[in-house]
Amino acid sequence: MIVILLGAPGSGKGTQSKILAAKYGFTHLATGDIFRAEMAAKTPIGLKASEYVKSGKLVPDNIVVEMVAGRMEPGVNYLLDGFPRNLNQAEELTRILAPQRKTIDKVVLLDLPRAEALKRLTSRRICAKCAEVYNIYTKPPKTDAQCDVCGGDVVQREDDSEATAGKRLMVYEDLTNPLVAYYKAEQILEQVDASQAPDQVTQAVAAIIDAALAVKK
Ligand code: ADP
Ligand code: ZN
């Protein structure tokens, strides 16, 4: 089973895919998380990706595709979060899956108006140590700028600054949004209203995955 979560930065892909991957026992493959980990560890991939991630641009396809291909094993169910992000990556994904005799089961679009996405991004904060996500309005840490979970420093992601977040939303609209039509044409796209409360979004996506699993049996 392969499920792709699609949506603008700030639409809640990361939050939802962590919950859903745990619920269904899928492997959560999040390219943004992988890049941030590689950057923190200063690996060759991290060093190459750093300037792109920090400025809100897409990392070149060859780097991303090689990284994803190296992490996808036969016989494993995946929840893809942040990949594919443009049409070329979508075609490359099909090529990665073909020898494993896998196809994409569902693509779920987390739909959110641009203004709301920008507000969520610029008010988001994360723990520098364990990556727990906070929001200055809706979920501030209990102690000022200290993570509730691990006590680490709660900071703004460099690419969540107003200017870079706006740039990421433009990149999304130009390059990633065309995937909606692409997967609609393949009749595997489903849409969820991402402005709902997180629990309701989880339920809506879970209903889609349940239906897809029922078809497979
Ligand atoms: P968001 O979806 O909130 O923008 P992510 O954590 O998914 O954040 O991605 C952060 C950054 O990592 C992107 O802005 C981009 O630079 C890089 N990145 C992640 N996935 C990809 C991808 N599939 N192709 C190219 N760049 C990517
Ligand atoms: Zn923490």
pLDDT digits (tens, 9 = 90+) for 120-169: 999 999 999 998 999 999 999 999 899 999 999 999 999 999 999 999 99
CA of 146 to the centre of ligand 2 (A): 8
Task: Compute the average pLDDT of residues 182-199.
Answer: 97
Query: Contact at 8 Å (CB) between 126 and 154?
Result: yes
Domains of the chain: 2-112+159-216 (3.40.50.300)
Catalytic amino acids? 13, 85, 124, 157, 168
**How is residue 110 written in tokens?**
């987390």
Calculate the alpha carbon distances from 56 to 7, 39, 53, 190, 209 in Å.
Answer: 15, 14, 5, 27, 30
pLDDT score, position 197: 94
pLDDT score, position 217: 77
CA of 91 to the centre of ligand 2 (A): 37
Which protein residues have their CB within 5 A of the ion that is ligand 2?
A: 127, 129-130, 132, 147, 149-150, 152
Return the ligand 1 atom nearest residue 68 CA. Answer: 23
| Strand 133-135, strand 106-111: pairing | unpaired
- Which bound ligand lies closest to the C-alpha atom of 84? 1
Mean residue pLDDT of the chain comes to 96
Cβ neighbours, 10 Å, residue 215: 9
pLDDT score, position 134: 95
Task: Compute the average pLDDT of residues 85-100.
Answer: 96
Q: pLDDT-derived band of residue 216, with 50, 70 and 90 as boundaries?
A: confident
- Which bound ligand lies closest to the C-alpha atom of 131? 2
Alpha-carbon distance of 148 to 90, in angstroms, equals 38
